[in-house]
Each structure stands twice: as C-alpha cells, then as structure tokens.
Structure 1
C-alpha cells in the first residue's frame, strides 16, 4: 500500500523522515546498500520527491488486521 509524500523533517538523530498523506511517517535514509535514496540528501531532491508515492508499511499492517 502506498501513500504520497507531503513533507519532510529531521528526527532527533538527524535522519530524514517523510510525512505521508495517510498521516503516518517513515524514515527515508540514504544508507547504501540497504537503502539507496540519494535524493533525500539535498533540499532539491526532497522537494522533487513531494507528491511521490511511498510504500507505507503501517497502512499495510492496519489493512491486514481488519
């Protein structure tokens, strides 16, 4: 299940977190080879990511419980 990115903020450890339209939040780290998201490093990259779909595991988990 996906939700669209509506914003970003830095958490207490300095990692970027995406705010999703569904109301959930998800870390979006660039940590190769596990997470390859170079766009999160720059303000321009994050701005371009606004509106893009991102898999929301919390929404998936909630749907499975119903």
Structure 2
C-alpha cells in the first residue's frame, strides 16, 4: 500500500473513533458565548473609536 493510502485510512479511523465530538447543546452554548463576546468587543472598540475621534476633533479645534 502506498503511504498516502495508509495515512488516509489512519486519519479516517482517528476521526471516527478517537475524537470526542461535543454534543449539540454544548456546541450551541459555545457558539452563543463566542457571539456575545464578539458583540462586547465590537462595542468596546466602537466606543473607543468614537471617543478618540471626539478627543482628536476637540484637540484640533482648540489649536
């Protein structure tokens, strides 16, 4: 057998029998956590951008 064929067979066996896949509910919970964290970070970055824009406009208008 060629090395590639053996590798693919071993890969398929490992994916089927050795990997523990998360349950649907755990996967759903993790996805919600990522979504909420992404929204929080987006809001934080947006707030920082808005406040720096206001600060720079104030600074440039002062001089």
Q: Which TM-score band applies after superposition, normalised by the shorter structure?
A: under 0.3
Which structure: greater strand fraction?
1
Whose Rg is larger? 2
* Higher relative contact order, structure no. (Cα contacts within 8 Å, ≥ 6 residues apart): 1
Which structure: greater helix fraction?
2
TM-score normalised by the chain length of structure 2: 0.25
TM-score normalised by the chain length of structure 1: 0.24
